[in-house]
A and B are shown apart, each in its own frame.
Chain A
C-alpha cells in the first residue's frame, strides 16, 4: 500500500511535510561595523586545477568554490542525510515535497544575486543539473545524481527536481552534490568546451565571498560580497597563498606571513603550542586508512589468493595488530583507531557492532590451525614449502603510510609472518592498485555523508573495491541500510553491515585521522565542519583589539 505523502514524511522525519523555511535574508547575524574587516591568509600546499564546481578534484579548489558558490540548501553540522532533516536554506528559501514524494519544488530567494548583479533563477538550477550530468564532461559527482530524473522550471523562482524512485537521500542528492551555476554566463558555451572555459579561472558565484583574482602559482584572493542577500562576509578578504613545499608552508605560518594552515602534521603540534600568536583547532575529517587484502591471485586473477582467501589468516592478521599503539606511534593524538570502513562521524551507532580484539596468542593459533607453521625454524611460517609472506604496497608520497608499513612489518614478524613494505611513486602505486596488482596495500578513503560511496569501495560490484572482497550478505545489508526509509530500521541494517564486514576482515581498519588546523589567535572562528573547514568561513572575524596592518586595508581595490 502506498503511503500518503503526509504520512510517509511524518513517519520518516517526524514533522509536517510542508517544510517552508523562513526567508534567509536577514536571518544571518547582522554584521556590526566593528565585526567586519580583516585579512585571512591561508597557506596551501597545492594550487587548484580549476574553480569550475563540477570539475573540482582537489581540496584547495573545494574550499574556494565552497565559499564563492552556494547550494540550494546546506547540510547541517551533524551531516544528517535522511530527508531534509537538519538542512539549512541557502539559495532556496523553502521547498515543498510532492504528494508522491517523487519531486521537490525549491523556491529560490528573491533577493539572491550573482556576483555580477544578475538575479538567480530556476533556469540556473536546471542548467546546473544539465552540466553536472553531461556526458561531455568528466564530473565525479555525476554517478551520485543517478536517482534524479530531471529538473524543470515551474516559474522563474521555482525549480522542481524529479526523482526516479523514493529514496531516503533524495533531498541530499538534490542539494549536496551540486553548486548552482550561472546559466547566463555559461549556456552559450558548448558542454565539451566548458572544461577549459575562462570561467574556471574567473568564477562568478552567489556566496558571501566573491572571486577577486588568481595569480597562477602564487595566490588566489576572494573578497566579501557586500551586496549579498544573506549579509556580507565578516572578513574583508581571504587569500590562499600557494607554497608547494610543506616545510615552506609551515615557515610562512610561524613567521606570521600566513594565518592558517590546514593538515598540520604531528611534528608541528609542539611548535604551534609554543608559538604565542597561534592556536590549534581540532578538526574532524571523514577519512580513514586501512590495510586491504587482495582476495584474488595477483598473477592470475581468475584464481583466489591462496593466502587471503582464508578467513582464518585474515582474522589472524587483524588480531596480531596493536592498532592503538600504531595510531599513537604514527599520529600521536591526531588519530584514533578506525572501527569500520567509515569514520565515526558517519556511523549511526558505533556501539552496535564489535571489533576483533588485539590478541597475539589467538592470532598464532589461527595460523597454526590454517596449517601455517614454522617448519624450518627460520622465523617465518610456511605451508607446503611456501613461506607466509606478502608485500604491502604503499605510496612513497605518504610518510604516515610508510611508517605504518614498517610498524606492521614488525608486528607481523612477531607471529612469524613476513610482510615487506613496497613503496611506489604515487602514480605507480595508484596504477598497481587499479590493476589489482598487489598482495596487500595501505589505502585510504574519505566517504561523503550518506555513505553511498561504500557501494563503490566495498560492495562486490564496487568498481573501487581493489581487493575484490565479495560478500552477498554484506551487499544485501548495505543495500538495505541505504534504501530503507525508516531511520531506526536503517540503523539496525548499518550495524549488521558493519559487523559483517568487520567479521569478514577484507581489511584491517587502521586509523581515522584528525586534522587540527593552526590559526592566528587574531581570528574568532565558527565551528569547523568535518566535510569542510571552510563552510562557516563567512562568519569568521578578527578580534578588533588584535588587528594588524593587513586587517585594516578595507575592501578598496588595489592601487
Chain B
C-alpha cells in the first residue's frame, strides 16, 4: 500500500511539473493574455510584479517551495486563492463525473450482462450495433447535438449551468428539480458513451464466463438459469473493474469538453479559462488535482479488483 501511495505521489508531482514547464514554454504569459488594449509598459509592469521575467528555474523553484508549504498560490486571473478556485470547481466536477461513472457503470453492466447471457442472438447483435455507434461518438459532438435538440429546438431542458438563474428564489423542491434538469444533458453526454464502453467489456466477459466449466457444473447441479447467470456475472466483474480505473482519465478529459459546452463551472471550465489566461498557479493545481483523482481512482480499482478476486491479493 505504501508503495502504491508513493507511486501515486510521484506521478502527481511529475504531471504537475510537466504542466508547469510546458505552460511556461508556450508563447505568451499572463500579461499578453490581458488583451489588445493593454500597453507594453503595463505588460512589463505586470511581468515585473509577478516575477514572470525570472528564469524558468527560479519560477519553478518558487512554485515548488510554495507547494511544499501547502500553498497553491493565487489566481492572477480571478484575484483569489487557487484553493478557493478549486473549492468551487472540484465538487461540481466530481458530482458530474461521479454521476456519469455511476450511470455508465450500472447501465453498462446491466446491458452487457443481458447481452452476454444471450450472445449471438438477434437482440444481442442489434444492441451491439447501437452501442458501437454510441462508442464511436465524440462526447463534445454528442453534447452539442443534445444541446441543440433538447434545449434549442424542443426547449425541454435548460441549456447551460448547474442551476437556473432564478435558483436562489425557488423553494427547496423547485431547487431539487432545477438541479436535476440541469444535470440531465451533461450527464447524458458523458454517460451514453460510458455505457457503451462498459457494456462492451461486460458483454465479452459475460460471454466468456458463460462458457466456463463452473457454469456447466452449476446447471448440472440443477440451479435455476437466473442463479447461474448471477454466478457467471460475478466472475465477469473483473475486466469491468479494471477498465473502470483505466477509464477515469478519459472521463476527466470528456468532462472538460462537456463542461465547456454546457457551461458547467467545474474543473474543465476552470482549466480552460486558466490556460487561456496563462494563469499558471491554477493550471498547475488543476493538473495536480486531476492526476491525484486519476491515481486515487486507479488505486480504488485495484482494491476493488482484489476484493472481487482474492487470488490477486497474493500477487
Q: Interface of A with B (CB < 8 Å)?
A: 39, 41, 47, 49-50, 52, 55, 57-58, 138, 140, 143, 195-196, 200-201, 213, 216-219, 221, 239, 241-245, 247-249, 251-252, 254-258, 424-428, 430-432, 434, 443-446, 456, 463-464, 550, 553, 558-559
Q: Which of A239, A252, A254, A427 gathers most chain B CB within 10 Å? A: A427
Given contacts A239-B165, A427-B33, contact A248 B38 (CB under 8 A): no
Q: Which residues of A contact B42 (CB under 8 A)?
A: 138, 140, 143
Contact B161 A243 (CB under 8 A): yes
A248 touches B147 (CB 8 A): yes
> Residues of A contacting B168 with CB < 8 Å?
213, 221, 558
Select one of B35, B85, B160, B170 contacting A251, CB under 8 A: B160
| 11 sampled A-B residue pairs with Cβ under 8 A | A50-B78, A143-B39, A196-B79, A200-B79, A243-B161, A245-B263, A251-B159, A257-B160, A257-B165, A427-B32, A427-B278
Contact between chains at B162 and A218 (CB < 8 Å)? yes
Q: How far is the CB of A38 from chain B (nearest CB, A)?
A: 13
Question: Are B152 and A255 in contact, with the CB atoms below 8 A?
Answer: yes
Contacts of B147 in A (CB 8 A): 247-248, 251
**CA distance in complex: A445, B35 (Å):** 10
Q: How far, in whole Å, are A444 and B37 apart by their CA atoms in the complex?
A: 9
Docked pose: A553 CA to B88 CA in angstroms:
28
A18-B3 Cα distance, complex, nearest whole Å = 81
B43 close to chain A: CB less than 8 A: yes
A241 and B148 in contact, given A49-B77, A430-B36, A559-B171 (Cβ under 8 angstroms): no
9 closest Cβ pairs, A-B complex: A217-B265, A427-B28, A428-B27, A558-B168, A430-B32, A243-B263, A251-B159, A463-B40, A50-B79
Q: Which residues from chain A contact B166 at a C-beta distance below 8 Å?
A: 39, 550, 553
B39–A432 touching, CB < 8 Å: no
Residues of A contacting B78 in the complex (Cβ-Cβ under 8 angstroms): 49-50, 216
Within 8 Å by CB of B79, from A49, A248, A249, A463, lies A49
Chain B neighbourhood of A550, CB < 8 A: 165-166
Task: Of the listed stretches B215-223, B247-255, B268-276, name the one at the interface; the rest are far from the partner chain.
Answer: B268-276
Q: Is the CB of A195 within 8 A of B165?
A: no
Contacts of B36-75 to chain A: CB distance below 8 A: 36-43, 45-46, 49, 74
Q: Is the CB of A434 within 8 A of B32?
A: yes
Q: Considering the chains assembled together, what is the distance between the CA atoms of A57 and B36 in angstroms?
A: 11
Pick the residue among B35, B45, B165 that contacts A241 (CB under 8 A): B165
B261 at interface (Cβ–Cβ under 8 A)?
yes
Distance of A273 Cα from B161 Cα, bound (Å): 26
A248 / chain B contacts, CB cutoff of 8 Å: 147, 159-160, 261-263
For the A-B complex with A216-B88, A243-B161 known, give 17 more contacts whose Cβ atoms are closer than 8 Å.
A49-B78, A201-B80, A217-B88, A218-B163, A248-B159, A251-B147, A252-B159, A255-B159, A257-B158, A257-B160, A258-B165, A426-B28, A427-B29, A427-B32, A464-B40, A550-B166, A558-B168
Across chains A and B, the number of contacting residue pairs, with CB separation under 8 Å, is 151
Selected from A138, A256, A428, the residue in CB contact (under 8 A) with B28 is A428
**B89 part of interface (Cβ distance < 8 Å):** yes
Tell whether B312 is near chain A: CB-to-CB under 8 Å: no
Neighbouring A residues of B261 by C-beta, 8 Å: 245, 247-248
The residue among A200, A245, A258, A445 with the most chain B CB atoms within 10 A of its own CB is A245
Residues from chain A with a CB closer than 8 A to the CB of B26 are 427-428
Which chain A residue lies CB-closest to B28?
Answer: A427
Contact assessment for B155 and A255 in the assembled complex, using a CB-CB cutoff below 8 Å: yes
Chain B residues within an 8 Å CB radius of A57: 34-35, 38
Which residues does chain B contribute within 8 Å of A245, judged by CB atoms? 160, 260-261, 263
B21: Cβ under 8 A from any A Cβ: no
Interface residue B164 (Cβ < 8 Å from any Cβ of A)? yes
In the complex the two chains form, is B37's CB within 8 Å of A254's CB? no
Taken together as a complex, chains A and B put the C-alpha atoms of A55 and B38 apart, in Å, by 12
Q: Name A52's contact: one of B39, B79, B170, B273 (CB within 8 Å).
A: B79
Report whether A217 and B165 are in contact in the complex, using a CB–CB cutoff of 8 Å: no
Which residues of B lie under 8 Å from residue A249 when comparing CB positions?
160
Q: Which of chain A's residues have a CB closer than 8 A to the CB of B40? A: 434, 463-464
Contacts of A39 in B (CB 8 A): 166
B74 contacts across to A, CB distance below 8 A: 196
Name the residue of chain B whose CB is nearest to the CB of A212: B168
B144 contacts A247, C-beta separation under 8 Å = yes
Instruction: Give the Cβ gap from A275 to chain B, nearest Cβ, in Å.
Output: 11
Partner of B41, one of A247, A427, A463: A463
Task: Known A143-B41, A427-B27, A427-B32; judge A217-B89 contact (CB<8 A).
Answer: yes
Q: How far is the CB of B145 from chain A (nearest CB, A)?
A: 12
Q: How far is the CB of B296 from chain A (nearest CB, A)?
A: 24
Question: In the bound complex, do residue A463 and residue B36 qualify as a contact, i.e. CB atoms below 8 Å apart?
Answer: no
- Would you call B151 an interface residue if the criterion is a C-beta within 8 Å of the partner chain's C-beta atoms? yes
Which A residues are CB-close (under 8 A) to B79? 49-50, 52, 55, 195-196, 200-201
- The minimal Cβ–Cβ distance linking B100 to chain A, given in whole angstroms, is 19
**A200 partner residues in chain B, CB cutoff 8 A:** 79
Contact with A along B262-294 (1 / 0, CB 8 A): 110110011011001010000000000000000
* Beta-carbon nearest neighbor of B155 in chain A: A255
| B159 and A553 contact, CB distance less than 8 A | no
Contact of B45 among A138, A217, A251, A431 (CB under 8 A): A138
Q: Are A431 and B32 in contact (CB under 8 A)?
A: yes
Contact of A243 among B33, B41, B155, B160 (CB under 8 A): B160
Q: Please determine whether B152 and A463 come into contact, CB atoms closer than 8 angstroms.
A: no
* A251 and B148 contact, CB distance less than 8 A: yes
CB neighbours of B29 from chain A (8 A): 427, 431
Tell me whether A217 and B269 are in contact (CB under 8 A): yes
On chain A, the residues within 8 Å of B170 by CB distance are 559
User: How far, in Å, is A213 (CB) from chain B's closest CB?
Assistant: 7
A426/B162 contact (C-beta < 8 A), A200-B79, A244-B263 known: no
Q: Min CB distance, B235 to chain A, in Å?
A: 44
Set of chain B residues within 8 Å of A247, measured between Cβ atoms:
144, 147, 261
Question: CA of A253 to CA of B141 in the docked complex: distance in angstroms?
Answer: 21
Give chain A residues whose Cβ lies under 8 Å from the Cβ of B151: 251, 255
Q: Please measure, in the bound complex, the distance between the C-alpha atom of A248 and the C-alpha atom of B263, giving whole angstroms.
A: 8
Given A213-B168, A241-B161, A242-B265, the answer on whether A463 and B39 have CB atoms closer than 8 Å is: yes
Residue from the set B38, B161, B165, B260 with the largest chain A CB neighbour count within 10 Å: B165
- The interface residues of chain A lying within 8 Å CB-to-CB of B163 are 218
A residues within 8 A CB of B278? 427
Give Cα A125–Cα B74 distance, bound, in whole angstroms: 30
Instruction: State whether A219 and B165 are in contact (beta carbons under 8 Å apart), knowing that A196-B79, A245-B263 are contacts in the complex.
Output: yes
- CA–CA, A219 and B26, complex, Å: 31
**Chain A residues in 8 Å Cβ range of B165:** 41, 219, 239, 241, 257-258, 550
Bound form: Cα–Cα A242–B264 in Å: 10
Question: In the complex the two chains form, what is the Cα distance from A47 to B168 in whole Å?
Answer: 19
B80 touches A196 (CB 8 A): yes
Q: Across the interface, do B262 and A464 meet the contact criterion of CB distance under 8 Å? A: no
In-complex Cβ contact of A254 among B152, B169, B171 (8 A): B152
CB neighbours (8 Å) of A430 from chain B are 28, 32-33, 36
Which of B41, B269, B272, B276 lies in contact with A426, CB distance below 8 A?
Answer: B276
Which of B39, B148, B160 has the most A CB atoms < 10 Å from its CB? B160
Q: Find the A residue at minimum CB distance from B157.
A: A255
Residue of A nearest to B262 (CB): A248
